[in-house]
Structure 1
């Protein structure tokens, strides 16, 4: 589809500098954006409902004569206007009103009102309805369902409808050019209207249009628009993938003897899933085009050893590899783990907390003789120069902004070769979501846990039963085990009723004077965090009080009990990640989710889901239903989730249809694909490149 560039927003009646600014704040920068500014819902003002037929909770339009109007005096005056159509009576009530409104509501005058009917103390009411005074009972009704649009301050529904109606008029007159690139045969096979017909039907649905279908996003016109959106998204990502793979990359030779030596040094046998994923990664690394692969694996599935197998390929070919983690705790954990794998290589650690001398030395080594560089976001900063970076591994990718990931990958482009990229996540992503948002990446899934892993037993416990919990902790620590106590805030918050980690630690020290108790949170200096975590690893601390800073990466096999305070405040994904800090050894592990009454319905579902399953993918599917894709993927993945119409959980069948159509169009109508992608927002193109 193309849109004529000769029509600007400023050409529309009613659009001055102030309105133009407000439209831009709403993301409406062109007439095309107006056409695709879809209604949130519809109001049916195409007919009048007789008052005798009214029932409470109906949203309807009524019409009648004013019987009387009066003001009820009280703490807050209320304007009441009683109207009747001869068959029934409804009281229109206004809590905020002007005295001039009361003056105009003369007995015998005609009023048409739209709103929700409620059961009042003396009959049926409408609170703050939309209304208009009529000159005649036969004044025409609306010709089509009235759309209600998303809006911002200063943009009324009336103005939005007026502007969109102008664009629709120009569309009908051919002044705005809409080209439908979806083959007519596909539209007919799926009983879909053309793009032009769909735009018209959505903004100005006629009186025969099913309001129920429109509200449920089930109308064929809506499906056609949704197909357009997801199709352009998929085509864009496929094009970006092709563009990146057309660039050069260093082909890394995989030497079988070295792979066997790597496997031999492991103290465990790789699972079938790990073997399969390593083979997929090694296949990509041997090509002279950049690997772009997303590695998914549930908590404890063994992603780090897979990453190590990929890193080994780069190092054995004389090239550098870099691993970026979102927190220093996790980066330090990787440094410790990978040092055991690559004891004969030079590893360098880089983070923002290094002092000037250590940072200067790290930068010099990265530019000269470092083999593997591990760190935080500091890895992509301007002063960092790599010698010959061939592989970038990004852990817990959803915690980085897409621009941060892109900046690190560009560090390897000085040699005209783009580094291979392996993106890892321990947040399982439902299949449809992964195939949609990461259509520019190949996806590998470790869908098997090590055979010695025991299921974590999850318990729900009201915070009123703290005494019973204390006995469980005493017993576990008395038997040589260790425990986490996770608090959701560092400082006390009366509003959220969450107990601060600092206060909880003092309380626990009184309860358990015989235990060594430590505290770790994000505000501690790096060295302090490291000392506390090392003491916990060495079992010099039996009970660790922590904030969610320990959500990822912390690996203490002897820790077998976790308590999460105010668990109802956290999302499913975060709860699952925290629970994954235990169950990493041979002991039976337990996770206690403490909650505070009253619980919302959503909180009940979350906690019950955690109690019933340890399956990260099942949890992710439930999380997608409850919170949507933006929260699952991380709030910083803005470019990837700019869908106006598509709901990934609801529209999976339509997404599958678009995926098949995208492949067909790329093969049979490449020029049409280019034209569809050309209009894709440039910023989104940049954000999707990693």
Structure 2
């Protein structure tokens, strides 16, 4: 499969091969991301205008777009420059006016000669009791009125391109749409009663009413599914390739796991046990594990991760756990230490700070197999770091760890199983789009003993009360986070907001009580400020959102979030999860600047109602859309032209199941359906997938 199949050539020709598209229009389209007739074909209309002809405008609900045959009457030119030029017309039952501004009278007299029959189509409105059609869209002699479509599709326009041009280009792209072999599973087509691809794309550009432009119209649902399916086939090919890279068989003996479970002061939740079983099973197979462990704040991911690491040690090998920052790596170390002591194994940390003799000693111990579990930052990936027998790599908190990075990780060729952990509950549809090549375990129960966090919504006008409340809490020996917003993208203002708040609180609460952390600080200062707070030297930590991920201070029981209305829901939920980790009752104060918009109020209320991260993220998705939820730029989310991740989540799940089933039967895509899928991948520009097939 060397290059694009010939049947698709017309769809990838130059834009100027389309009717009505000259060099200038082609340039405008290219700038907006439309590069070939294929893109015009996938730019479906978003609305439809009913231009069916009627005898009279009598009885129509105005304003509306109407098409009617009329006899042209008297012309009344404008009295002043730029005024209204009016033409009286009569249909079968009544009369109305055509109105033109900045009109050229001689032109209008030629197009609309008095006494002639014309078909006019346009928006008709009542103005001072008189029905008027201002600048009709069409005015044609009766014999050429067949050119007016009965239902006219309305396209999203690029600046400088008119509806007429867009319509013409779409017709022309449609004329070269090829008839393609079917790539969707026949039983799926039958169940949904979907048309074939050619009929679907034809129907989508010829809507016969509002229902036909809704995402649930059969033609549209089918085309959306094609996009999801092409994307999921790409992910499934990546997954197949990873699994084919022989995994290491690591069979648990339970020897170490049972010690840890016996020492735990609580019983693991059902969800934790389920995840541990799934991971243990994956690690015992010879296919490589590529699993996502999704758990809400405080759902007990650390225990599950440690149990997985123990499988690799029980099987005679080593495990590594990677965190994005040094401070998080140290925190994992603290969290795992008591568990490692129960199991009686050697746990060590490696970060960029390790230098000289100490670093050499650690590397030596790692290579000898004397370190069982290593916690570290990406320093673990440096070329001089060698394990004796690495069996499992756990990657923490990586939205920033897309399919491509996972493939690189596997290309280190060690065949180690991979577990990615995230504390951000991602709605299922997004998890499928972003992590569709992975198997997913979800921790959706809270371990016993975690206290709920009381959440209150409060106006910034009550700042004094909040500070007084804080003073009392500090006197009782409690600690507090105070989060300042990133006011805008320029880091300067983020800094000033945090520094101003820091100065104000320090003035009220006293020197040495308040610490400050923000994105501009050198890493060493940041670590020092975090450490002083962790050790309880400072009682209040003023911070921008750098504290969002991971940091654990059990004694902190108050979280104040300023301007909460400008944060994302998921982010607020993450921040709130920083408190409620110790013995004390915890509070989260969401401070907003009035007046609140309806959306802002609704978002803060859902936080007050629930601590269920999945429910919160579903609401977030409905309210903000997928791109915002994970920051489109770094989300690794594909750009779909027709499909809508938020409204068609069910289709995404079906596409994943189908893509995996197809590759299980036809891993090289050589069957008839497999070959049809190759054409789909070329049409959808899934270059990565095409490379995977050609090397596979």
State the TM-score, normalized to the length of structure 1. 0.83
What do the CA deviations read for 1:511-559 (whole angstroms, capped 9, x no partner)? 3237701111122111111111111111111111111111110111111
The equivalent position to 2:173 in structure 1, one of 149, 167, 178, is 167
Distance 1:161 1:298 in 2: 48
Q: Does 1:203 align with 2:205?
A: yes
* Cα distance in 2 between the residues matched to 1:378 and 1:150: 48
Matched, 1:444 2:447: no
Which of the residues 256, 273, 276 maps onto 1:275?
A: 273
Match of 1:500, SS state, is helix
Query: Aligned pair 1:627/2:624, yes or no?
Result: yes
2:42, 2:642 within 8 Å by CA — same for their partners in 1? no
Q: How does 1:2-41 map to 2 (within 5 A)?
A: 4-7=7-10, 8-10=12-14, 12-13=17-18, 25-41=31-47
Are 2:428 and 1:423 aligned?
Answer: no
**CA shift for structure 1 position 501:** 1.0
1:547 pairs with 2:544: yes
User: Who is 1:139 aligned against?
Assistant: 145
Can you give the 5+ residue segments of structure 2 that lack an aligned partner in the other structure?
A: none
Counterpart in the other structure of 1:295: 293
- The aligned runs of 1:428-507 (5 Å cut-off) are 428-435=425-432, 437-489=434-486, 500-507=497-504
Matches within 5 A, 1:180-579: 180-182=182-184, 186-205=188-207, 209=208, 211-317=209-315, 319-342=317-340, 344-345=345-346, 347-351=348-352, 354=353, 368=367, 372-377=373-378, 379-380=380-381, 388-411=389-412, 413=413, 417-435=414-432, 437-489=434-486, 500-513=497-510, 516-579=513-576
| 1:607 corresponds to 2:607 | no
Classify 1:68/1:611 alpha carbon distance in 2 versus 1 (closer, same or farther; 3 Å): farther
Q: CA offsets per residue over residues 163-191 of structure 1, 9 Å max, x none?
A: 432332234xxxx3412234666534433
Return the offset for 1:68: 4.7
Q: Deviations over 1:269-296 (max 9, x none)?
A: 4223212211211111122211011111
Residue matched to 1:675: 675
Asked whether the 8 Å contact 1:487–1:499 carries over to 2, the reply is no
Q: Distance in 1 between matches of 2:258 and 2:481?
A: 38
Task: Name stretches of at least 5 consecutive residues in structure 1 with no aligned partner.
Answer: none
* Farther-moved stretch of structure 1 (542-551 vs 185-194): 185-194
Q: Bigger CA drift: 469-478 or 139-148?
A: 139-148
Distance 1:275 1:471, change over 3 A: same
Shift of 1:46: 4.5
> In the aligned structure 1, how far is the partner of 2:500 from the partner of 2:302?
35
Matched, 1:178 2:183: no
CA deviation map 1:180-206 (0-9, x unaligned) = 23466653443322222111111133x
Give the secondary-structure state (helix, strand or coil) at the position aligned to 1:448.
Answer: coil
Higher alpha-carbon deviation: 151-160 or 553-562: 151-160
Structure 2 CA distance for aligned equivalents of residues 629 and 585 of structure 1: 34
Q: Alignment partner of 2:506: what SS?
A: helix
Residues 296, 444 of structure 1: 8 Å contact kept: yes
Deviations 1:148-177 (A, max 9, x none): 444545655544433432332234xxxx34
The change in CA–CA distance for 1:634 and 1:489 in structure 2 (over 3 A counts) is closer
Distance 1:377 1:114 in 2: 63
Q: CA deviation at 1:267?
A: 4.7
- Larger mean Cα displacement after TM superposition, 14-23 or 474-483: 14-23
Q: What does 1:24-103 align with in structure 2 at a 5 Å threshold?
A: 25-47=31-53, 58=64, 68=76, 70=78, 80=84, 82=86, 85-86=89-90, 87=94
CA drift at 1:421: 1.1
Contact preservation (8 Å) 2:54, 2:68? yes
Task: Report SS of the residue matched to 1:4.
Answer: helix
Tell me the distance in 2 between the aligned counterparts of 1:484 and 1:558: 11
What is the alpha-carbon distance in structure 2 between the residues aligned to residue 184 and residue 686 of structure 1? 23
CA RMSD of aligned residues (A): 4.1
Question: Residues 514 and 431 of structure 1: is their aligned pair in 2 closer, same or farther, counting only changes over 3 Å?
Answer: same
1:288-337 C-alpha deviation (Å, 9 max, x unpaired): 21101111111111112211222233345454433333344333322332
After the TM superposition, which of the residue ranges 340-349 and 599-608 deviates more from structure 2?
340-349
What is the alpha-carbon distance in structure 2 between the residues aligned to residue 542 and residue 342 of structure 1? Answer: 31
Distance 1:104 1:599, change over 3 A: farther
**What are the within-5 Å matches in structure 2 for residues 101-112 of structure 1?**
104=107, 112=120
C-alpha contact (below 8 Å) 2:230/2:686 kept by paired residues: no
How has the CA–CA distance of structure 1 residues 520 and 192 changed in structure 2, closer, same or farther, with 3 Å as cutoff? same
Q: Distance in 1 between matches of 2:417 and 2:556?
A: 36
